[in-house]
Chains A and B, each alone.
Chain A
């Protein structure tokens, strides 16, 4: 058999890149939503629900992601089956998205909560004292100041997420890593260094893009980050 050339490998890998990207994008967006909801429950101190957020957050922080993937894919369907919920037809891709969403959302809860707390109580009181509704207060005063504080942590969380997408092939998802394994195996490992260097290059490119996006947001929201006179001068 003929071993494929570098460009052939690249093209074979890029053929399945969309799977990786879909998983990445879906779990990034859903994870952010989940993180926001969990944070809201947490800071509003809603009883019972708050305990659940603490459990989710400490579970996702302490269990290795590969095990979380296995739990969602193999353990969740029979578990939910006990409650009459039938998810036995859940595909590996959906399971991967679900597991990564939980993981990313749990991680982001810590980031978002810290950012929310960074806006001091006094500003809450000022808005309350003027009769702002909670929604008006949140969107006009709190959120604009929370975003710049959360951005670096969010950027880190995204990088973790990007890296962790490389594990979903363990569930049998035919993503970039899955295809890379196949290519390497078909040449009995002859070109595996080459294949994985190419995979590394693809991941470097994606991480680079993600960093660039976060940095762009940071630039756009910097003017809200005016907790010290020094920073203010930089903007003006």
Chain B
């Protein structure tokens, strides 16, 4: 479904990804964890080419690219088969809620207004925001904006949805409503790459956890393998700080 080989990224002379390999199957929910500044966002943004890698290969469904000589057309293809949910929501401020969900369907997918509208209404109902459809984003809470942005992402029927810390800029009391929506999305079988610091949530929804540090994938495996049985010293150090529960689980296992 999605395969990445030897992905390298640098900003200026700073190497941020130092040769990352990744294999994702259809329907997988893959969660990236790790200290901040280690390149988690960067990986996600390579998948839709918001970041320009130095080198590497990627296969996404039937698209195959060599990042060293990628064409404009391939970039659009990658972007039109993926969608991203951003930490800062990034809704279009000149458009109402329903227009936000409709716009790419019209502008990119060339659907009719009516068709786009109906799909958008359906999605807004699923994220529980139908009654806000004619509001502008600035009038919504962070949690509501993020749910709209999830609807906007799903509207284009992507092969992969990229979630980059979708709850990190939310007030604590709004986190749950967004996680609930993401969980429901995960259950529909769509392939998901997720970056989050919500370890309980990651453990619950993911079938694969990727632990990253300093531009490398240190360890990957099922939630049990990472959170309960990891033998890797660096993984354990990280979890000790960010998810002390895991250390207790590990104590139980050993």
Q: Using an 8 Å CB-CB cutoff, how does the interface string of A143-177 with B read, 1 for contact, 0 for none?
A: 01100000000000000000000000000000000
Contact of A122 with B86 in the complex, beta carbons under 8 Å: yes
Considering only residues 126-140 of chain A, those with a C-beta below 8 Å from chain B are 126-133, 136, 140
* A interface SS class: helix
Contact of B103 with A232 in the complex, beta carbons under 8 Å: no
Task: Find the B residue at minimum CB distance from A127.
Answer: B92
Contact of B139 with A136 in the complex, beta carbons under 8 Å: no
Q: Tell me if A226 counts as interface (CB < 8 A to partner B).
A: yes
Q: Tell me if B108 counts as interface (CB < 8 A to partner A).
A: yes
Q: Tell me if A84 counts as interface (CB < 8 A to partner B).
A: no
**B31-39, B74-82, B186-194: which one contacts chain A?**
B74-82
Neighbouring A residues of B210 by C-beta, 8 Å: none
**How far does the alpha carbon of A129 sit from the alpha carbon of B84 in the complex, in Å?**
6
Contact of A232 with B86 in the complex, beta carbons under 8 Å: no
In-complex Cβ contact of A128 among B50, B92, B94, B152 (8 A) = B50
Give the Cβ gap from B148 to chain A, nearest Cβ, in Å. 11
Known: A125-B86, A141-B94. A131 touches B138 (CB 8 A): no
Give the Cβ gap from A233 to chain B, nearest Cβ, in Å. 8
**How far does the alpha carbon of A132 sit from the alpha carbon of B76 in the complex, in Å?**
8
Neighbouring B residues of A47 by C-beta, 8 Å: none
Q: Using an 8 Å CB-CB cutoff, how does the interface string of B86-119 with A read, 1 for contact, 0 for none?
A: 1011111111000000011001100000000000
Contact of B48 with A227 in the complex, beta carbons under 8 Å: no
Contact of B103 with A140 in the complex, beta carbons under 8 Å: yes
Contact of A231 with B86 in the complex, beta carbons under 8 Å: no
Neighbouring A residues of B138 by C-beta, 8 Å: 226-229, 231-232
Residue among B92, B94, B149, B162 facing the most chain A CB atoms (10 A cut-off): B94
Known: A132-B104, A226-B137. A126 touches B76 (CB 8 A): no
**How far does the alpha carbon of A236 sit from the alpha carbon of B139 in the complex, in Å?**
10
Q: Tell me if B243 counts as interface (CB < 8 A to partner A).
A: no
Q: Tell me if B201 counts as interface (CB < 8 A to partner A).
A: no
Known: A145-B93, A226-B94. A129 touches B137 (CB 8 A): no
Contact of A140 with B139 in the complex, beta carbons under 8 Å: no
Neighbouring A residues of B80 by C-beta, 8 Å: 130-131
Known: A125-B50, A145-B94, A226-B93. A130 touches B79 (CB 8 A): yes
Q: Using an 8 Å CB-CB cutoff, how does the interface string of B57-90 with A read, 1 for contact, 0 for none?
A: 0000000000000000000100110111010111
**How far does the alpha carbon of A154 sit from the alpha carbon of B61 in the complex, in Å?**
48
Contact of B93 with A227 in the complex, beta carbons under 8 Å: yes
Contact of B107 with A140 in the complex, beta carbons under 8 Å: yes
Task: Find the A residue at minimum CB distance from B77.
Answer: A131
**How far does the alpha carbon of A235 sit from the alpha carbon of B94 in the complex, in Å?**
13
Neighbouring B residues of A127 by C-beta, 8 Å: 92
Q: Tell me if B156 counts as interface (CB < 8 A to partner A).
A: yes
Q: Tell me if B136 counts as interface (CB < 8 A to partner A).
A: yes
Considering only residues 97-133 of chain A, those with a C-beta below 8 Å from chain B are 120, 122-123, 125-133
Give the Cβ gap from A127 to chain B, nearest Cβ, in Å. 7
Neighbouring A residues of B95 by C-beta, 8 Å: 141
Known: A226-B138, A232-B138. A129 touches B108 (CB 8 A): no
Neighbouring B residues of A236 by C-beta, 8 Å: 139
Known: A227-B138, A229-B138. A128 touches B90 (CB 8 A): no
Known: A130-B79, A130-B156. A224 touches B94 (CB 8 A): yes
Neighbouring A residues of B91 by C-beta, 8 Å: 123, 126
Neighbouring B residues of A128 by C-beta, 8 Å: 48, 50, 79
Q: Using an 8 Å CB-CB cutoff, how does the interface string of A199-236 with B read, 1 for contact, 0 for none?
A: 00000000000000000000000011011110111011
Give the Cβ gap from A188 to chain B, nearest Cβ, in Å. 60
Residue among A128, A129, A140, A141 facing the most chain B CB atoms (10 A cut-off): A129
Please give the residue numbers on chain B whose beta carbons come within 8 Å of chain A beta carbons, in ascending order.
Answer: 48, 50, 76, 79-80, 82-84, 86, 88-95, 103-104, 107-108, 136-139, 149, 152, 156, 162
Please give the residue numbers on chain A whose beta carbons come within 8 Å of chain B beta carbons, in ascending order.
Answer: 120, 122-123, 125-133, 136, 140-141, 144-145, 223-224, 226-229, 231-233, 235-236
11 contacts between A and B (CB under 8 A): A126-B149, A128-B48, A129-B50, A131-B76, A131-B80, A140-B103, A226-B136, A227-B138, A232-B136, A232-B139, A235-B136
User: What 9 A-B pairs are tightest by C-beta distance, nearest first?
Assistant: A122-B90, A131-B80, A131-B79, A126-B90, A130-B104, A129-B84, A224-B94, A144-B94, A226-B138
Q: Give 7 A-B pairs besides A130-B83, A133-B76, A231-B138 with Cβ atoms closer than 8 angstroms.
A: A125-B84, A128-B50, A130-B108, A131-B104, A132-B104, A226-B138, A226-B139
